[in-house]
Structure 1
Amino acid sequence: MTITWPTGNTGNGCMLLNMQNGKPLFSSIQLGKEGAYHTIIENTDPEFILTKGKRDLISQNGWNIFFDKVPLKPHQSYKINFKKKSASVSTSGTRTIISIDGVEAPDFQGKLEITLYNGQPLFNVAAVISTQIDSTAILYDAGLVSKQQSVKSISWSDVYDKMQISSKLADTTQNVAVKYRTIIGKNPSGSIAVFPAPHQYFYPLDEAFNLKFVWYGNNYRNLLPGFGFGIRQDLYGDNRYVPWFNAPPGTQQRLNFFCLLSTGIPTALLAEVKKYTHNDSYKPLPGYKTMSSHFHNEFTSRVVLAGKPFTDSPSFIKVFKNLGVNIVHLAEFHGTGHPRGPDEQRLLELKTLFNQCERLSSANFLLLP
């Protein structure tokens, strides 16, 4: 099956799908103009690892529970199997959707969906699956996997916003802490970026750590034979309350990732990925201020009152400003304060908090206690 779609100024994308079982689904993914196509990647499969555990539906708020510890209960990870069956092509607005039946995992079944976006060198790959088992919580890892090394090098932006490149691709897999949630494979004719939905992919946690959300290399988790690169979740999160995602009986779960194509270099491609999230910042709206709330930084108790040294502008202030946030409402004493006294200790905590909020606020940035 050959699918072409318009990709804007870049011309057209071309996807050659092999429907024979045992052969890579993506025979070739290409980008080009006026019939001159460049192969970005070839002979690769979209692969998924499903991890399923047990949701606590009894002790608290049913499916709305946050205070669950799913990874501390029995759970199991599986490679999702894909036996290609019937295929269909449909449209939804400006999107073209290729659906292929035959996706299966223990207690789950469904289909593979490839969504092409008219006017963009962008597509989404999703294992759309459902279960009839109650009280199920899930996570998934995903990516592009080939029997042989499918790209010449791997690139990413590190957490300090510096591009990194690896051309000596190890025999084992590497989990990498990145900025912008993106990993890029490069070949002589171009590059392909793999990244998740920026909010949908991340389950709620108390702590906002960078948990190495991308991977590359061989034999990922001993479940995906061959070379690949893609996105991942940490099963244990911040080791506090780790609820994963709900998978109620009969609901369709979209285990998905995006791919963006380019005939250029990874740095330029990452710049295109960043456009989808305004460079990971909030775009200013005239007449409005951008506010975010409920942050347990505990800067007052763990740094200031603990007598530790601190700078004129702590790192968390820089993070909020770089995100384009104008007003931050703190929740400092979530677990470290003394709301019941003694009074002299509680009043000192509050006075210190208010003083720090005043000190760290400026003309276009307000820190609320």
Structure 2
Amino acid sequence: MKTNGARLEVTFPGVQAGVFAGRLQYSVYKGTSLIRQELIAKTDEPSVAYKYDAGFKGLTIQPASRVVWRDSANLWQDYQFGGAKNDGPVPLVAANRVLAVEAPGGAIAAFPPPHNFFWSRETEVNLGYVWYRKDGETTFSFGVRQADGEAEPSAAGRGPEDTRQNFALYSARPGTWQRMPVYFYVNAEPGQATLQAALAFTHDDHYKPLRGYQVMATHFHTSPVPRARALGGLDVKLPDFEVMKSAGVNIFAPIGGGGGFGAGGGRAGGASVPGNNVQQLQALADYYEIARRHSDKNFLIMPNHELMTTGLGGHLDFLLSKPVFWTEDRAAGQPLVEDQPKYGKVYRLGGPADFMEMARRENILIYMPHPRSKGSTGYPDAIKDTAHFRDEHYRGIGYRWGMGLDGSETRLCEYRCLALFDDMNNWVADVPTPPKFIQAISETYRKGPGDDIYANNPVNYVKLDRLPRPDDMSTVVNAMKRGDYFVTSGEVLISSYAVEGSGTDRTVNADVEWTFPLEFVEVVWGDGQKTERQIISATDLPPFGRHRFRIPLSTAGKKWVRFAVWDSAGNGALVQPIKLSSAMTSTGSR
């Protein structure tokens, strides 16, 4: 037993679970009824992929005992242990990934960590992450679970595409301490009130509004054009728009290309189809018209495109500042730009230089959505010294925790995303170009009511007072070009950030709010070759807190710096890096 800031940690060694050996640990946090139970274990076996279930067993069934949860329609359900004994766990497709068990005198809610419980998937369909089991006439068990596989298309109801092949599980590198947690929230109130109190840790699975910011979610393969056409026309409101808006997103950026057009849209999986340029231009026109019709005063549909045949290396997201038309069929001697009566300015693109020139002329930002994986395997490393990677319009990479999930990570997407994030900024540290950024992305397809949007998607909080309209989205693009946004899982918010001071003596100032008890904040920097960091423990701070962090920083030997905050459930937020210059009195603010 030991204290760690404002928490008490109780450990029981000698646990064996399959190929894993380690300890069982309970963490109790001051100022909240939250309890974390976790197996902390490691294995020396190579190439171990795993999943886990966890919970409590042996609880006494009393006359008033029951399990309560909300179903996928958000309606209350319960089970009062009146049925026969169960042979195994009963999975519940419960809203918000939480259930509560109720008895006279109080209740206990059970739920998994909200984000790092979920590995890479291409759908947010709720697979049932909590369970109960009637073990006999006198006892029961309950807890959290990870599904055995992805839902088949007919069960998911999200279109014909089969996404069962992408169900990656956790990866346990030999010798690393893997953490397998479950959370319990103990309360003297009945089950429904206890469950609702537990939801405060995720703002009721809602991205909290923050004054001066807009919540942006990007890179969704929702196929808006073929679906709208198949369902009756461009006035059909796709359910994707409604579920994203209900989660608190007010800039929704589905991608064209590999999923925006689809069959009949002039592209097949994002690749150009010879002879289909007329269809491609019409698909673009329909896409922009869908955005115009279904955007609102408080909700922007921001058309963007994933391109795979640019010659620039890997898959790339093009974030548009306005509607742009192009084909990929430029012949020798053909002008880059032509005017057409129906579409106006049309770019005829024939290679990497043409794509970059269009990006410069039309104020387009470029991000690599899933770096070092899938169709971007080997990238952006292979292009790090090219002119187009160093161009200010090539802003960086996409960020999502499912891109390689390891239970030993203390940060979301620590090994796949954050290591590359810092590598990129060392690559350009001595180059006269802005630092490289990350943007929160998804990699999921069609959506519908009951989908677990909040658990599976990080978001960008873009510093912007008002939403633009789809015909001029330059305020969004310009804010992202400047780095005036932060990436978050939703529980941690960074409302302001600045590196202030002059010479080599600076101060990192950041205003932060959070829900789960914090773990640490960090200042990360690079010298053009290696990355280092200062980690400041935050375990003494209470849950549901606010704090202004003031961290002294000597810039000697440092070329760039960034700031991040991580909580005890693995959730976090991080700002974009700033290049350091001794000549500046205020290096930058967000």
**TM over 0.5: same fold?**
yes
**Structure 1 partner of 2:119:** 203
Within-5 A mapping of 1:132-151:
132-146=44-58, 149=61
Q: Offset at 1:354? A: 1.3
SS of residue paired to 1:273: helix
Q: Offset at 1:333? A: 3.7
**Structure 2 partner of 1:304:** 228
**Structure 2 partner of 1:331:** 255
Tell whether the 8 Å contact from 1:149 to 1:228 is kept in structure 2 after alignment: no
Which of 233-242 and 309-318 deviates more?
Answer: 309-318
Tell whether the 8 Å contact from 1:211 to 1:237 is kept in structure 2 after alignment: yes
Tell whether the 8 Å contact from 1:117 to 1:123 is kept in structure 2 after alignment: yes
Q: Offset at 1:237? A: 2.2
Structure 1: any 5+ residue segments left out of the alignment? Answer: 1-88, 221-225
Within-5 A mapping of 1:272-283:
272-283=197-208
The verdict on how the C-alpha distance between 1:263 and 1:148 changes in structure 2, with shifts beyond 3 A counting, is closer
**Structure 1 partner of 2:30:** 118
**Structure 2 partner of 1:70:** none
2:180 is equivalent to residue 255 of structure 1: yes
Specify which structure has the higher proportion of strand.
1
Q: Offset at 1:227? A: 2.6
2:256 is equivalent to residue 340 of structure 1: no
Q: Offset at 1:170? A: 4.2
Tell whether the 8 Å contact from 1:155 to 1:164 is kept in structure 2 after alignment: yes
Tell whether the 8 Å contact from 2:228 to 2:238 is kept in structure 1 after alignment: no
**Number of equivalences:** 275
2:105 is equivalent to residue 181 of structure 1: no
**Structure 1 partner of 2:71:** 158
Measure, in 2, the Cα distance between the counterparts of 1:148 and 1:283. 39
Question: Which amino acid letter does the alignment assign opposite residue 117 of structure 2?
Answer: Y
Paired-residue identity, % = 29
Measure, in 2, the Cα distance between the counterparts of 1:340 and 1:310. 23
Which of 309-318 and 122-131 deviates more?
Answer: 309-318
SS of residue paired to 1:119: coil
Question: Which amino acid letter does the alignment assign opposite residue 316 of structure 1?
Answer: D
**Structure 1 partner of 2:295:** 361
The verdict on how the C-alpha distance between 1:353 and 1:192 changes in structure 2, with shifts beyond 3 A counting, is same
Question: Which amino acid letter does the alignment assign opposite residue 189 of structure 2?
Answer: G
Q: Offset at 1:91? A: 0.9
Tell whether the 8 Å contact from 1:206 to 1:240 is kept in structure 2 after alignment: no
The verdict on how the C-alpha distance between 1:340 and 1:216 changes in structure 2, with shifts beyond 3 A counting, is same
Measure, in 1, the Cα distance between the counterparts of 2:120 and 2:257. 20
**Structure 1 partner of 2:560:** none
Measure, in 1, the Cα distance between the counterparts of 2:53 and 2:211. 39
SS of residue paired to 2:258: coil
The verdict on how the C-alpha distance between 1:119 and 1:260 changes in structure 2, with shifts beyond 3 A counting, is same
Question: Which amino acid letter does the alignment assign opposite residue 85 of structure 2?
Answer: D
**Structure 1 partner of 2:244:** 320
Q: Offset at 1:306? A: 2.1
Measure, in 2, the Cα distance between the counterparts of 1:170 and 1:297. 43
**Structure 2 partner of 1:130:** 42
Which one has the largest radius of gyration?
A: 2
Tell whether the 8 Å contact from 2:7 to 2:27 is kept in structure 1 after alignment: yes
Measure, in 1, the Cα distance between the counterparts of 2:65 and 2:125. 30
Question: Which amino acid letter does the alignment assign opposite residue 270 of structure 1?
Answer: L
Question: Which amino acid letter does the alignment assign opposite residue 121 of structure 1?
Answer: S
Q: Offset at 1:267? A: 1.6
Measure, in 1, the Cα distance between the counterparts of 2:74 and 2:128. 15
**Structure 2 partner of 1:246:** 171
Structure 2: any 5+ residue segments left out of the alignment? Answer: 152-163, 304-590
Q: Offset at 1:240? A: 2.6
Over the aligned positions, Cα root-mean-square deviation in angstroms equals 2.1
2:142 is equivalent to residue 229 of structure 1: yes
Q: Offset at 1:265? A: 1.2
Question: Which amino acid letter does the alignment assign opposite residue 47 of structure 2?
Answer: S
